[in-house]
Amino acid sequence: MSLEQQISKGIMEAMKAKDTVRLQTLRNIKKYIIEAKTSGVEITELPDADVVKIISKLAKQGTDSAEIYKQQNRPDLAAEELAQVAVMQEFLPRQLTAEELTEAVKAIIAEVGATSMKEMGKVMGVASKRLAGQADGKEISAKVKELLS
């Protein structure tokens, strides 16, 4: 079952369970999926990798919004955002730990044959694609810089 189908099924289950937070979150994800499908070439189903990108982007936005709400002393709104992010996390691949990220980046550096910071672009190109959804781009970049310098 594709990720898009899982989200549609989740919407139905949330309706039956009357889980408003889950329902609202999944409908929002579905809206972005439909927008992606209708912008440009007509596609019947979006690949899972694209759906993961959409969900990752929305989860990051939710986390950032929650942080802003906390800074503005609005814990009620922050909690609501974090509840939605928790629902989104269910559909994302497991995040790599710091040790796993280090090992993955070391393997990519060895594979590409990079030896200096001049070759960071090569490493980032491969790492971004391979680790998409499993680690934040900033974390990957920081780890590549650390290991190449």
CATH number of domain containing 28: 1.10.1510.10
Chosen domain end from 89, 110, 132: 89
Residue pointed to by tokens 């972005």: 32
User: Both tokens of residue 37?
Assistant: 């499908």
Residue 143 contacts residue 105 (beta carbons within 8 Å): yes
pTM: 0.76
Which CATH number characterizes residue 128's domain? 1.10.10.410
Query: Is a pLDDT exceeding 80 seen at residue 29?
Result: yes
DSSP for 39-57, please give it: SSS--SS--HHHHHHHHHH
Give the pLDDT confidence score for residue 134 in this predicted structure.
82
Query: Is a pLDDT exceeding 80 seen at residue 125?
Result: yes
Give the pLDDT confidence score for residue 31 in this predicted structure.
95
Q: 83 and 16 share a domain?
A: yes
> 93: how many CB neighbours lie within 10 A of its CB?
15
Distance CA 20, CA 17 (A): 9
Chosen domain end from 38, 55, 89: 89
Give the pLDDT confidence score for residue 48 in this predicted structure.
84
